[in-house]
């Protein structure tokens, strides 16, 4: 695979280059190659092929050396990644260790990364909720960030396009705040989910508990079978990679689809150094890639470049793409590149006991939970903080195991597992407000193993976030009380930004080149053949898990690029 | 872990005594053959935990803690996944446990008859809320061994069967039909 700099330039020329093979990069690859474009997909990490490279996927719990727990030697040397809920023995090999790829935290920021083909799409939590105009209107209505250059109607057909291919399990809920999509059947809610849903209906106007829409094939269509994917078997071990292709990741879906066209060249171990800008032509002509093994720099060329490196790494690449025309980073005339970052506030949780419904329980495993869409400040501003939060809600019957005694008595107890009461819980997913002070920049002297500047990250919570945590806990407590839940426990983890794994912005979309970096089709205002369609493009964050929106934006942007012949 | 000369001598004595006095009722090998990376554990300490495990969850018509190597898993987790202070606390507790038994019965725990071991441990089990360090150690060791035993292949394939591929989710079923009630 390794091509050296002597290789004929023509061989290193493509119609499109996609930087990154994760959630959005995979979509760019699929859409370009389906349109007949010769596409080079660059991935900084190793290749991970569907089925073949899921080493733990069929392991039983007892087959892991520490039955899932991570050794202290690893967690102590890698405190950031060790805080990630999925960094366990079964999936740790898909996460970047702190030690291997250092970055600078000007303020605490847990940067969770997956450097391999498929990126974080292998380990994502698979929640897929659409945005509505209540979200796109946010910045303009509430006076923060800049106005989004698009509205729901612009993205709706692309949401549908993506959903049909990905396979989204959900119900048509008919909610303005969370538009319905192209859904495969939903799983059942639990009895207590239903009960809580009724409590909310009875007591509130706009609090609707629904089944959390998620990227699982509950009933695969011909399009999914054609991808080689099959029905989700409710293992709920998705983070290992799925032997059935039951959930969506790039590895099982978009990338093999793109490969089948014969138009994709996938190049793993390719660290992108920068994008090449040609002053004379007034556009980007290619990218500089460092082979992660040989450290040799190779240039690749294309008409169009899609930057899908993952929100912060996309910022890094653009900041590092300097030229005489763009001394401060590609497209960065207004100095806003790397600024106005935001994320999701996942700090607060609430747990309780439900003493009713003891005659019922669940059976099998669910891969999602119930979801309470944003109800704060939806139609108008009504609190002392801007925007609001969505909430996950889950309920399950706990299992009690008696452990008194020893010998025969204990052995007998261990064999009997008794159902305990229902446990209910919720976590917040709060919108944060992008601010210029939340930013990334290139470190002036520290470099990584490939000579690329390390990223300085400066992102913090603000007063709005604190008020929102308080409000979530108060409101959820009230809702739980109305439901008669007992032993209500609230907590604020105070976790650092980043651990939500929903970092966004820095290369935001907007109408005005003076105040934004990207236009309504995700092109850099000042370098139109470079598109950014991963989390970096987000003008605001709203509350929805963002991957679905990145995928829809990507498909829409590729459509724009191909219609315009590469600008 | 630094060891004083006195401790070392004591341990050597334990080991040599242990190797000649293993009663046939306790079918333990001379050493459990653990290979630890960080902790220094004597053969005697291994044997005390093994005897503890054997008493706590004995082999009956079904496998016991030693059959599924629950004690070895406890050592492994202590060695690889547990902070140093907790490792030391565990070993200290284990030594105190062993010494307390020896004081009461005038011989070693790992060589004792099952009934003696059982009686000694039962006293601690009945005081489970006590803050007595011996009880605290007993509870901790018990908890770790239960975790190891119930997470073993034997337990999860024979006693409470783990379903890797449920292929179903029902949100609301009667408890009477729930698998946990069937057995």
For residue range A334-354, what is the model confidence (pLDDT) as tens digits?
999 999 999 999 999 999 999
SS3 A550: helix
HSE, side-chain direction, 13 A CA sphere, residue A15: 19
**For position A559, what pLDDT does the model report?**
98
Q: What is the pLDDT of residue A8?
A: 83
Q: Would you give the distance in Å from CA A415 to the centre of its chain?
A: 41
B87 inside domain: yes
Q: Which 351-370 residues of chain A touch chain B by CB within 8 A?
A: 358-367
Average pLDDT score, chain A: 97
Say whether A60 and B83 touch across the interface (CB within 8 A). Answer: no
Cβ atoms of A507 and A315 closer than 8 Å: yes
CB contact under 8 Å between B175 and A70, yes or no, is no
Confidence at B179, pLDDT banded by 50, 70, 90: low
C-alpha B13/C-alpha B42 separation (Å) is 11
| Cα B135 to Cα A276: distance, rounded to the nearest angstrom | 69
Interchain CB contact of A62 with B (< 8 Å): yes
Q: What percent of chain A has pLDDT over 70?
A: 98
A453-458 and A104-105 strand pairing: parallel
> Considering only alpha carbons, which residue of chain A is nearest residue B83?
A72
| Domain assignment of residue A349, yes or no | yes
Q: Label the pairing between strands A39-42 and A264-267.
A: parallel
Q: Is residue A394 situated within a structural domain?
A: yes
Residue of A nearest to B167 (CA): A233
Give the model confidence (pLDDT) of A541-562 as tens digits: 999 999 999 999 999 999 999 9
pLDDT at residue B16, as a whole number: 39
What's the mean pLDDT in A184-188?
97
Q: Does A413 touch chain B (CB under 8 A)?
A: no
Q: What pLDDT digit, counting tens, does each position of A430-461 carry?
A: 999 999 999 999 999 999 999 999 999 999 99
What is the residue whose two structure tokens read 């991970």? Answer: A48
Question: In chain B, which residue's Cα lies nearest the Cα of A59?
Answer: B164
The alpha carbon of residue A358 is apart from the nearest alpha carbon of chain B, in Å, by 8
- A80 three-class SS: helix
**For residue A468, is it within any domain?**
yes
Query: Is B178 within a domain?
Result: no
Look up the domain containing A404 and give its range. 175-211+344-431+461-496
- CB contact under 8 Å between B166 and A233, yes or no, is yes
Note whether A361 contacts B64, CB cutoff 8 Å.
no
Strand segments, DSSP code E, in A331-438 are 339-342, 344-345, 348-354, 360-364, 370-372, 389-401, 417-431
pLDDT at A476 over 70: yes
How high is the pLDDT of residue B87? Answer: 97
What distances in angstroms separate CA A206 from CA A445, A543, B12, one per listed residue? Answer: 52, 16, 73
Which distant-in-sequence residues (6+ apart) come within 8 Å of A449 by Cβ? none
Q: Per-residue pLDDT tens for A219-242?
A: 999 999 999 999 999 999 999 999
Chain B interface includes A68 (CB < 8 A):
no
Q: A414 and chain B: CB distance < 8 Å anywhere?
A: yes
The partner residue sitting opposite B167, judged by closest CB among A191, A234, A419, is A234
Interface A–B counts its CB contacts (< 8 A) at: 140
Contact A363 B160 (CB under 8 A): no
Q: Which of A71, A363, A398 is the best substitution to test chain B (most B C-beta atoms within 10 A)?
A: A363
Q: Express each pLDDT in B14-72 by its tens digit.
A: 443 333 344 434 455 566 777 899 999 999 999 999 999 999 999 999 999 999 999 99
Contacting residues of A for B129, CB less than 8 Å apart: none
Q: Which of A137, A136, A132, A174 is nearest to A156 (CA)?
A: A132
pLDDT at position A417: 86
**A411/B60 touch (CB, cutoff 8 Å), yes or no:** yes
Share of chain B above pLDDT 70, in %: 79
pLDDT of amino acid B30: 60
| A411 interaction partners in chain B (CB closer than 8 Å) | 57-58, 60, 62, 64
Question: Residue A494 and residue A491: Cα distance in Å, rounded?
Answer: 9
CA–CA separation, A279 and A277 (whole Å): 6
Longest Cα separation, chain B: 64
Q: Domain count of chain B? A: 1
Residues 65-124, chain B: which have Cβ within 8 Å of A? 73, 76-77, 80-83, 118, 121-122
Q: How far is CA A269 from CA A33, A44, B42, B147, in A?
A: 21, 5, 47, 41
Residue A140, token pair as written in the block = 């303009």
Buried b / exposed e over B96-119, threshold 16 CB at 10 Å, is ebbebbeeebeebbbbbeeebbbe
CB of A225 less than 8 A from some CB of B: no
Range list of H helices, A46-99: 72-77, 79-82
In a domain, B170, yes or no: no
Long-range contacts of the stretch A191-194 (C-beta < 8 A, 24+): A191/A357, A191/A360, A191/B171, A191/B172, A192/A354, A192/A356, A192/A357, A192/A395, A192/A422, A192/A424, A193/A370, A193/A393, A193/A395, A193/B171, A194/B171, A194/B172
Minimum-distance CB partner of B166 among A193, A234, A418 = A234
Q: How far apart are CA A277 and CA A288, in angstroms?
A: 11
* Chain A neighbors of B174, CB-CB under 8 A: 359-361
Residues of A in contact with B70 (CB under 8 A): none
How crowded is residue A453: how many other Cβ atoms within 10 Å of its Cβ? 17
- Answer yes or no: is A207 within a domain: yes
Is A129 a domain residue?
A: no
Q: Which of A190, A233, A237 lies at the smallest CB-CB distance from B171?
A: A190
In a domain, residue A502? The reply is no
Q: How many angstroms from the chain centroid is the CA of residue A202? A: 34
The verdict on residue A358 lying in a domain is: yes
CA A386 to chain centre: 23
Q: Which domain holds residue B122?
A: 5-164
Q: Looking at the complex, report in whole angstroms how far the Cα of residue A427 sits from the nearest Cα belonging to chain B.
A: 20
Q: Using CB atoms, which residue from B121, B169, B179 is nearest to A188?
A: B169
Q: Which residues contact A464 (CB under 8 A, 6 or more apart)?
A: A385, A386, A387, A432, A433
Tell me how far apart the alpha carbons of residues A215 and A170 are, in angstroms, rounded to a whole number: 9
Structure tokens that stand for A527 in this block: 């370098």
Residue A184, token pair as written in the block? 């495969």
> Measured between alpha carbons, how far is B151 from A395 in angstroms, rounded to an integer?
24
Q: How many contiguous H segments (helices) and E segments (strands) does chain B have?
A: 8, 1
User: Is B24 part of a structural domain of the chain?
Assistant: yes
Q: Do A364 and B170 touch (CB under 8 A)?
A: yes
The residue among B45, B52, B64, B78 whose CA lies nearest residue B142 is: B52
Chain B nearest C-alpha distance from A76 (Å): 10
**What is the C-alpha to C-alpha distance for residues B2 and A558, in angstroms, rounded to an integer?**
64
Q: Which candidate in A58, A219, A401, A407 is best for mutational testing of the B interface (most B CBs within 10 A)? A: A407
Stated pTM of the model: 0.93
Question: Average pLDDT, stretch A481-485?
Answer: 98
Q: What's the total number of domains in chain A?
A: 1
Instruction: Give A1-56 as a 3 state SS string.
Output: CCCCCCCCHHHHEEEEEEECCCHHHHHHHHHHHHCCCCEEEECCCECCCCCCCCCC
Q: What is the mean pLDDT of residues B150-164?
A: 97
What's the CA gap between B34 and B43, in Å, rounded?
A: 9
């Amino acid at each position: 695979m390794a091509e050296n700099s002597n290789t004929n330039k023509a061989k290193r020329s493509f119609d499109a280059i996609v930087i990154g093979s994760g959630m959005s990069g995979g979509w760019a690859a699929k859409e370009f190659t389906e349109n007949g474009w010769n596409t080079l997909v660059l991935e900084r990490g190793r290749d991970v092929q569907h089925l073949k490279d899921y080493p733990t996927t069929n392991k039983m719990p007892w087959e892991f050396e520490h039955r899932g727990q991570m050794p202290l030697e690893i967690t102590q040397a890698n405190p950031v990644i060790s805080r990630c809920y999925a960094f366990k023995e079964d999936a740790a090999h898909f996460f970047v260790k702190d030690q291997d790829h250092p970055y600078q935290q000007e303020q605490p920021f847990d940067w969770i990364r997956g450097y391999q083909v498929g990126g974080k799409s292998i380990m994502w939590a698979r929640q897929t909720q659409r945005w509505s105009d209540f979200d796109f209107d946010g910045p303009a209505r509430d006076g923060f960030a800049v106005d989004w250059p698009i509205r729901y109607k612009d993205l709706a057909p692309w949401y549908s396009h993506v959903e049909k291919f990905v396979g989204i399990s959900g119900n048509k809920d008919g909610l303005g705040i969370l538009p319905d999509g192209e859904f495969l059947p939903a799983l059942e809610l639990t009895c207590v989910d239903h009960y809580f849903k009724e409590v909310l209906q009875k007591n509130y106007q706009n609090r609707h508990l629904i089944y959390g829409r998620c990227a699982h094939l509950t009933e695969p269509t011909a399009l999914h079978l054609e991808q080689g994917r099959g029905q989700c078997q409710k293992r709920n071990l998705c983070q290992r990679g799925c032997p059935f292709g039951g959930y969506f990741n790039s590895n099982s879906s978009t990338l093999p689809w793109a490969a089948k066209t014969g138009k994709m060249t996938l190049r793993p171990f390719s660290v992108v150094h920068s994008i090449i800008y040609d002053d004379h032509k007034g556009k980007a002509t290619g990218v500089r890639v460092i082979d992660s093994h040989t450290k040799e720099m190779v240039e690749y060329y294309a008409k169009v470049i899609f930057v899908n490196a993952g929100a912060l790494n996309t910022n890094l690449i653009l900041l590092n793409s300097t030229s005489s025309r763009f001394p401060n980073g590609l497209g960065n005339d207004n100095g806003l590149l790397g600024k106005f970052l935001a994320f999701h506030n996942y700090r607060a949780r609430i747990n309780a006991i439900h003493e009713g419904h003891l005659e019922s329980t669940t059976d099998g495993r669910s891969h999602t939970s119930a979801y309470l869409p944003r109800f704060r400040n939806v139609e108008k501003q009504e609190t002392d903080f801007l925007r609001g939060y969505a909430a996950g809600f889950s309920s399950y019957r706990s299992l009690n195991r008696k452990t008194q005694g020893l010998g025969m008595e204990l052995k007998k107890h261990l064999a009997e597992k008794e159902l305990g009461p229902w446990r209910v819980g919720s976590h917040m997913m709060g919108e944060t407000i992008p601010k210029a002070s939340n930013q990334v920049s290139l470190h002036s002297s520290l470099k990584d193993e490939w000579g690329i500047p390390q990223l300085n990250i400066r992102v913090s919570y603000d007063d709005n976030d604190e008020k929102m945590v308080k409000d979530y806990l108060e409101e959820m407590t009230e809702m739980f009380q109305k439901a008669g839940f007992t032993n209500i426990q609230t907590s604020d983890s105070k976790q650092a930004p980043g651990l939500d794994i929903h970092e966004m912005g820095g290369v935001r979309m907007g109408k005005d080149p003076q105040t934004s970096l990207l236009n309504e089709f995700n092109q850099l205002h000042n370098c139109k053949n470079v598109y950014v369609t991963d989390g970096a493009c987000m003008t605001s964050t709203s509350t929805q898990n963002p991957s679905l929106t990145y995928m829809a934006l990507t498909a829409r942007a590729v459509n724009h690029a191909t219609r315009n012949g590469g600008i | 872990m630094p060891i004083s000369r006195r401790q070392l001598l004591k341990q050597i004595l334990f080991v040599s005594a242990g190797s000649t006095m293993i009663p046939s009722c306790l079918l333990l090998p001379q050493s459990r053959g653990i290979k630890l990376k960080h902790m220094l554990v004597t053969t005697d300490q291994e044997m005390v935990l093994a005897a503890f495990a054997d008493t706590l969850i004995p082999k009956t018509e079904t496998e016991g803690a030693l059959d599924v190597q629950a004690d070895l898993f406890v050592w492994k987790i202590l060695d690889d996944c547990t902070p140093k202070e907790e490792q030391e606390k565990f070993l200290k507790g284990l030594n105190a446990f062993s010494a307390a038994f020896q004081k009461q019965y005038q011989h070693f725990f790992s060589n004792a008859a099952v009934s003696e071991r059982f009686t000694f441990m039962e006293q601690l089990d009945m005081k489970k809320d006590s803050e007595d360090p011996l009880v605290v150690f007993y509870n901790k060791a018990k908890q770790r061994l239960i975790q190891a035993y119930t997470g073993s292949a034997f337990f999860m394939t024979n006693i409470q069967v783990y379903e890797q591929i449920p292929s179903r989710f029902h949100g609301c079923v009667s408890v009477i039909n729930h698998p946990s009630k069937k057995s």
